[in-house]
Structure 1
Amino acid sequence: MNLKKQQLSVRLKDQRSPTTTLIDLPTELLNQVVSHCPATSVGHLSRTSRSLHEFVEKEGWRTFTQTHFPSLSPSIHWRDAAHSLTTLSRNWQRRAFLATYLGPSGDAIALPSGQPIKKWKRPGGQTMGFQPAVDSYEHFVENCWTDRRQVVAWSAGAELVVRVKVRDAATEDAYRSASPRDKQEKFENNGTRVRWWTYKPLSSVEGRDDITSIKILRPKTQQERKNIDSSEQIIIGTANGDLQLLEMPPVSEGSVIKTYYVTNGVSVRSMSLSMDFESSQNQPQHLAANLSDSKVALYQVDSMQLKIAPVSEIDATPQSRKGCRIWSTKFLSPGRLAIGLGPSMAPINIFEIRPEGIVEEPVRRIGLAGSADEPETVRVSSIYPIEHVLDSNGGRDGNLFLSGGYDGIVRLHDMRSPSPSTAVYHDPTDDAAIYSLLSRGRDRVVAGASRHGLLKMFDLRMSGGSLYDYAGSSDTNDSATGDWNLFINPRDRYVNSTWRGPNSWMRRSAEGSVYNLSSPSPTSPFIFAGVENAVVEFNFSSVLDKHPDPIFLGKPHGRKGQRAHAPSYLQHKLDILNLAMYSQGTDGSREGMRLRTQRSVQETIGLGTNSTDLDERWK
C-alpha cells in the first residue's frame, strides 16, 4: 500500500504525464476518497466516466454508507440506502417531521366477524382513556429498496388494531389500474397498498380485558408475509391474565387464537421476545412475561402448539423491599434478560437465561449512583423502560442498554464496566419521569415523559454512530444542534373548545404521558408514539425537500427524472398536526430555548427555503 502511494505521488508530480487521472487510482484509494466525501460528491463522481460509475455502483455507495452509518448499514441496495439514510439524518438534524393520529379507515375489516369497518370508534365509557401498547416492524419484499412491508400493531382498550402497508411492483400496477375511489381508500399515492384489521373478542369488557402488551413475531425470510393479505402472528397480554398468540387474519376459517400461554389468570404487565424472528431448532425463541407485580415467566414460542406452560418462573422482586414491583422486562440478548423495578436501591436486575430456564439469582444488580456524572449517594428509585442499544456492527451483544427512571434521567449502561452507568442524559428544563424509550441506532434516543405529552430527543454521541453531517450545522442559538423537546399537542386544534364532547380525549392525550414508542427499524423514518387514547405517527420528512426519500415516491415514468406522483405524505395534508418544540438548553442557561410552532403544510408549500438550520415549517 505504501509503495502504491509513493508511485502515485511521483506520477502526480510529473506534469509531463497526460495519463494521471482519478481513473488510474486503485480501488483501495478510491474507497478512501469516497469515505471522506458527502453524498452529492459521490453522485457527481459516478457521472464523470464509465469506469468511475461502475466503481461507485459496486463499491462507492457501500463504502460511503458503511463509513457514515456504521451501525445502520442495511447490507443491500447501497445507493438507495445512502439516499434514504442521508435524507433521514438531515431531517433529524433539521427537526423536520410530519405527525398525524392513527386510526382504521378505508380498507378496514373487524375480526372475528369479518365485517368491514365503516367508521372506527375509540373505546368509551371510562373516566380515563386507553394506554396503547405499540409494536412495529418492516422488511423488504422484492429486490428494491422501496419495496417493503410495514406492520404496526397497537391496543385500544380490549381491541387490537393492526395496519399493514405493502409496496412492490404488483401494488404499483394495481394502483395505476384502480378506480379513483379505491385509490383514495386502499392506496397511498406512491403505489403503497394499505389495509387495516381489528380484533376484539365478543365477550371482552373495556377496563377488565384491556390489552397491556403486544409483540409481533417477525418473519424468518424476506419472502414470508409479502402480500397484503398475508397473516401476521401477534402475541398479546391482557389485564385479566390472557397471554395468547394470534393470527390475523386467520389462514383458514378457524379461530384467530393459535396458542394459549398458561398464566393461571395472573395479569400480564409487560413482555419481551428473545429474538426478532420466529423460533428455529438451533436457537429457540423465548418469551419473558411479567405476571402481576413480582413474577417473571419464561415460555418457548412455538406457533404449532395449542397450549404452552412456562419453562420456568421466578420471583424477581427483593423480599426485603415492601411495595417494590416490576415495571418492565427486556431481553438484551437471547441469554440475558434485564428487569426494571422499584422503588429499590438496585432497580435494574440482569438475569441469565439457560436452556432450563431463568437463573433465579441475578448476575448483576445495578443502582442509580456511582457514575462520574453523579454524586456517590445511595438512592431509592424506580426504573420504568429499558431499551437495548445496537453494537457498532448493528447487532445486539447484550452489553449496552438504556434505562429511564422516575427521576427523569436516561442512563446508558455497559455490562463490561464496573460503573452503574457510563453516561447520563438529563433535561435541565423538565424532570418528569421517563415512561418509554426508543433508540435510533447509536446516534440518538427518544424518551417519552410522564406529563405534558412530551418527547425528549437526546444525542447519544456514541462511537460507531452516524458520522454524517449534511451541511456542518452552524453553532448559533437558532441552529438545529443539541437536545430538544417536542409537545405532542396540536397547537391550532380546538383552541377555543371547552374540550368536551367527542373530542375531549384530545386534551388528555396532549397533556398526559407518552406510554410507548416503537419504530419499524433503525433506518425507518417512522416513529409511533402511544399516548392516552391515541397513537401518533411521526414521519421524519421535509415538505419542501427537492430530493425526498425514495420510499415516499412513485417510480419514474415518462421523461427522465420525472416522478409518477408527489410524495405520499402530502396525500392527506389536512390530517397533519401542527406541534411545538423547544431546545433544552444547558444547565444554568436558558439561552436558545425559544418555543417554536409548526406552520401548516399548506402554508409551508408556499414558502421558499429558510436561512436557518431548522425545517421550513418551524416559525
Structure 2
Amino acid sequence: MPALDTLPNEILSLITAHLDHPKDVSNVALACRRLSGFVELDGWKAYMKGRFGGITGPDADAKEAVHGLTTLYRNWQRKAFIARYIEPTRAIRLTTWDAKQWRGNQGQTMGYRPSIDSYEEISGWADRREVLAWSAGTQIALRIKETGQKAVKARNDVSESRDLDEYKHVRYWYSYQIPRGREGQDDITALKLLRPFQKVGATDCIAVGTASGQLRLLSVDTDDRTLRVQSYSTQRRPVVAISVSPDQRPVMTTVLGDDTLALYSIEPLAESARAKDSLSQVQPVPSGRVWSCNFISKDKVAVGMGPTTKPIQIFEITPTGFSAEPLRRFSLDSRSGSEVARLNTSVYPIVPLPASSRGGALTGHTFLSGGYDGIVRLHDLRSPHDFETMFWDVTSDSSIYSLATQGLERIVVGTSQHSMLKVFDLRLSGSHAYHSVALPPQERRSAAPKTRDYASNEIVSEAVNHIGVSTVSGGWNLFLHPRNLEGDAASRRRRTRVDDTPIYSLSIPSSTSTSLYAGLEGSVMSLDFLSILDKHPDPLHRSAVVRFPNTDVVDVKSSYNPHGDVLDLGMYEQGSEDAVGMRLMVQGGVGVEQNIERNNNSRSEELDDRWKDPSTEKNRWSRGQQPHGRGGGGHRRGRGGRGRGRQW
C-alpha cells in the first residue's frame, strides 16, 4: 500500500474532504514536508468543501475560513452570543450630507415597527463589508460596517458619522427622512436592499414603501455623496410588503392595500420626476387580506394571505407580467386532493430555502411559511402534498411574524408574543455536514404518558395521520426582553415603554455571518454569535480581544463589554412530546467575576459558559421571560400586531 505522502494531490484532497475535525488536517500537515505543502496548497480548501458543502471562500483564505466556520457552528450549537440594542448617535443625512444627532420617532404612543434588511460582501473571512438598514417610523437608519483589512484602512478616515464598534470594526451611519413625513401616517412599512450582484458600481439601493402609499427606490453612493430617488405609482394605496427578485437585472413586487400584487421594473441609477407605473397587477383573492410576498425564484412569487382555506398562492412572472391565475394554491390543512380543506387560517412570512441547499431555492421549488397557528411548514412545488414537514413548538403556539434561515442548518422564527425567538433544526439533505459538539441523547419518558398540547397538536397529529408528513420539534426559545438594563439600553426601553413585543422582522446578512438582527417595537437588537471565553475566537472578532498586562489572560469586560451595554437574556429548550420537560436557563453578565472561570452550570461543551440555572437569581427573573404553554392565549396579538388592523 503506497505511503500517504506518495499520493497525488487529487487523491489527498478526496481523503481530506472526509476528515472529521480541523485538527485532523493540522495533524496531516505535521507528518512531513510533502504533506505540509499539500495542506497549505489544497488541504484546507478540500476540507472546507467536503465538510461545509456549498459554503465556499477565497482559496488563499481557506484555513482562516475553516477556523471561522467551525467556530460559528459551535457557537450556534452552544447558544453562545452577545446581544445588544443598536442605534446611531449621530448620522449623516442622505438628503443634505451633514451629520445630525439621531432622533427616534417622536410623539407617538407606540414605538415604531422595524422592517430590516442586510447583506455583506466578503473578500476574505475577516475582510467584509456589511450593509444594514431598518425603518424607524418615517426614517431609515443605514449602517455600513467594514471589518478586517478594510477596517484598518478605514480607521484613518475622518468622518462625523464614523465610529468603532465593540470589536474595533469601523461603522458609518446614515439616515433618510421621508420628505414632509408625518409620524403615524407616513411610517415606513416595507424595506429591501438590492444585493451586491445587483449593484451598479459603489451604489447601494434601498426600496422603501410607506403606509401612505409612497414607493421609492433610493440609490445611495456614499463615496461621491449622491442620492438618486425614483418614485413609483401606487394610486395612494399603502405598501404592505416589498420583495426584489434574485436576478442580476431585478424586478420588484409589492403588496398594495389589502388585496393587490404589483410588479415594477428596477433601474438602480434612474431618477425621474414622474412616478413610474407598475408593469403588471393581480389580485390573488377576490376578498380578504394579502399579508406578504416574496420571490422564491427569479420568476416565481409566493403570496401569504388569509384568513382563508388556501393562504399561499404562487404566481409566475411571464414576459407580459403576472400569470392571470396562480401557478398553484397551498392549503395548510392535512386533507389534500379531492378532499375539501377545512382549516381557515393566515400565512404571514414566506422565505425560500437557501440557494446553496441541495433541496434549495435555485429553481424555486422549496420554501418555508409561518402563520397564525404558530407552525412553520416546508413546501415543495414538485410534491402533490401541500407541505412536507412541520416545525412546531410543543410549549408555545404564538403566531409567526418573521422567518430567517441560518445557512443550511436552522430556521429562526420571530413570534407575536413575549419577545420570543424560536430556533429549529432544518434537517435537510446536505445540512449539518459538520458537527463540532456531540450532543447527548435526550432522556425519554418511560412510564408517564405523552402530554398533548392544547392547540396545534391536533393539527400536527391530523397531518401525520392523513398524509404521513414529517414533524420536527425540540428546538429552543429565546426571550429578547433583557433581564438587565443599564445606561443607554435602559433609557431606550423606557422611551419605548414595551416589555412584551412581537418580533416583527429578522435578518441574517449571509450564510457565514456571525450576526442576527431582530426588529422589536421601537428598537433593533443584534445577536453576535461568539463565546467570551473562547481561547481561539473567530478571526472576525479576534481584534476585540484585550489581555491583562504581563499575562495571557483575556480581559473579558474590556474585550466584549467595554460600554456595559451587553444584554442578559433568558431561554429554554422546547423539548418534544417524548422528551423530559424543558430546561430553563439565563445568561450571566459579561465581565463579572463568575464568568472569568468556566461556569459549571453551563455543562461545559453543551451550552455556553454564560448560561446558568435561574434559581440562583430568583429575584432577577422579570416579566416577559416566563414560558407560556399552549392554550394560554397563544394567538392573542401583541402590541401593533397584525391582528390589530391598520396599525403601522
TM-score tier (shorter): 0.7 to 0.9
Match of 2:607 in 1: 614
Which residue of the other structure, out of 133, 136, 144, is the alignment partner of 1:156? 136
| Cα RMSD after superposing both structures | 3.3
Confirm or deny that 1:199 pairs with 2:176.
yes
CA 531–61 in structure 1, closer or farther in 2 if over 3 Å, else same:
same
1:127 positional shift: 2.1
Does the aligned pair in 2 maintain the 1:258–1:303 contact within 8 Å?
no
Confirm or deny that 1:267 pairs with 2:233.
no
Match of 1:242 in 2: 214
1:459 positional shift: 0.4
Which residue of the other structure, out of 88, 97, 106, is the alignment partner of 1:104? 88
Does the aligned pair in 2 maintain the 1:485–1:581 contact within 8 Å?
yes
Match of 1:14 in 2: none
CA 94–250 in structure 1, closer or farther in 2 if over 3 Å, else same:
closer
Does the aligned pair in 1 maintain the 2:234–2:256 contact within 8 Å?
yes
Confirm or deny that 1:127 pairs with 2:109.
yes
The residue identity in structure 2 corresponding to 1:291 is: L
Q: Deviations over 1:305-342 (max 9, x none)?
A: 3242211111112x2xx4x2111101011111100000
1:511 positional shift: 1.1
CA 608–221 in structure 1, closer or farther in 2 if over 3 Å, else same:
same
2:591 is paired with a residue whose SS is helix
1:553 is paired with a residue whose SS is helix
CA distance in 2, matches of 1:344, 1:313: 21
CA 49–125 in structure 1, closer or farther in 2 if over 3 Å, else same:
same
CA 178–124 in structure 1, closer or farther in 2 if over 3 Å, else same:
closer
CA distance in 2, matches of 1:130, 1:398: 33
Which residue of the other structure, out of 148, 158, 165, is the alignment partner of 2:145? 165
1:269 positional shift: 0.3
Confirm or deny that 1:389 pairs with 2:353.
yes
Residue segments in structure 2 that go unaligned for 5+ positions in a row? 445-472, 546-551, 613-648
Confirm or deny that 1:316 pairs with 2:284.
yes
Which residue of the other structure, out of 527, 539, 542, is the alignment partner of 2:528? 539
1:110 positional shift: 2.8
CA distance in 2, matches of 1:568, 1:214: 36
Match of 2:447 in 1: none
The residue identity in structure 2 corresponding to 1:522 is: S
Does the aligned pair in 1 maintain the 2:557–2:590 contact within 8 Å?
no
Does the aligned pair in 1 maintain the 2:291–2:304 contact within 8 Å?
yes
CA distance in 2, matches of 1:334, 1:608: 49
1:36 is paired with a residue whose SS is coil
Which residue of the other structure, out of 64, 67, 71, is the alignment partner of 1:87? 71
1:32 positional shift: 3.9
The residue identity in structure 2 corresponding to 1:206 is: E
Alignment of 1:155-554 (within 5 A): 155-169=135-149, 171-173=151-153, 175=155, 186-188=163-165, 192-220=169-197, 224-225=201-202, 231-248=203-220, 256-275=227-246, 277=248, 279=249, 285-305=250-270, 306=272, 307-317=275-285, 319=286, 322=287, 324-370=288-334, 378-391=342-355, 392=357, 396-475=362-441, 482-493=474-485, 503-505=493-495, 507-508=497-498, 510-554=499-543
The residue identity in structure 1 corresponding to 2:610 is: R
Does the aligned pair in 1 maintain the 2:92–2:161 contact within 8 Å?
no
1:224 positional shift: 4.4
Q: Deviations over 1:573-602 (max 9, x none)?
A: 51110000000011265x241211100111
Does the aligned pair in 2 maintain the 1:329–1:338 contact within 8 Å?
yes
1:415 positional shift: 0.9
Match of 1:49 in 2: 32
1:57 is paired with a residue whose SS is helix
CA 395–376 in structure 1, closer or farther in 2 if over 3 Å, else same:
closer
Which residue of the other structure, out of 577, 585, 592, is the alignment partner of 2:575? 585
Length-normalised TM-score, structure 2: 0.80
Match of 1:3 in 2: none
Q: Deviations over 1:493-552 (max 9, x none)?
A: 389xxx9987435552x4110000001101111111001101101111111111111111
Length-normalised TM-score, structure 1: 0.84
Does the aligned pair in 1 maintain the 2:544–2:559 contact within 8 Å?
no
CA 211–164 in structure 1, closer or farther in 2 if over 3 Å, else same:
same
CA distance in 1, matches of 2:29, 2:166: 31
The residue identity in structure 1 corresponding to 2:509 is: P
Q: Deviations over 1:368-408 (max 9, x none)?
A: 12379xx9962010000001102435762201100001000
CA distance in 2, matches of 1:552, 1:58: 26
CA distance in 2, matches of 1:202, 1:336: 34
Does the aligned pair in 2 maintain the 1:439–1:446 contact within 8 Å?
yes
CA 578–81 in structure 1, closer or farther in 2 if over 3 Å, else same:
same
CA distance in 2, matches of 1:505, 1:329: 32
1:574 is paired with a residue whose SS is coil
Does the aligned pair in 2 maintain the 1:110–1:117 contact within 8 Å?
yes
CA 356–419 in structure 1, closer or farther in 2 if over 3 Å, else same:
same
CA 223–148 in structure 1, closer or farther in 2 if over 3 Å, else same:
farther
CA distance in 2, matches of 1:390, 1:45: 33
CA distance in 2, matches of 1:44, 1:223: 45
Aligned length: 565
1:156 positional shift: 0.4
CA distance in 1, matches of 2:220, 2:105: 21
Q: Deviations over 1:145-167 (max 9, x none)?
A: 21110010000000000000113
Match of 1:575 in 2: 565
Which residue of the other structure, out of 117, 122, 126, is the alignment partner of 1:146? 126
CA 44–605 in structure 1, closer or farther in 2 if over 3 Å, else same:
farther
The residue identity in structure 1 corresponding to 2:384 is: P
CA 489–503 in structure 1, closer or farther in 2 if over 3 Å, else same:
closer
Higher mean alpha-carbon deviation, 263-272 vs 35-44, is at: 35-44
CA distance in 1, matches of 2:199, 2:207: 21
1:168 positional shift: 4.9
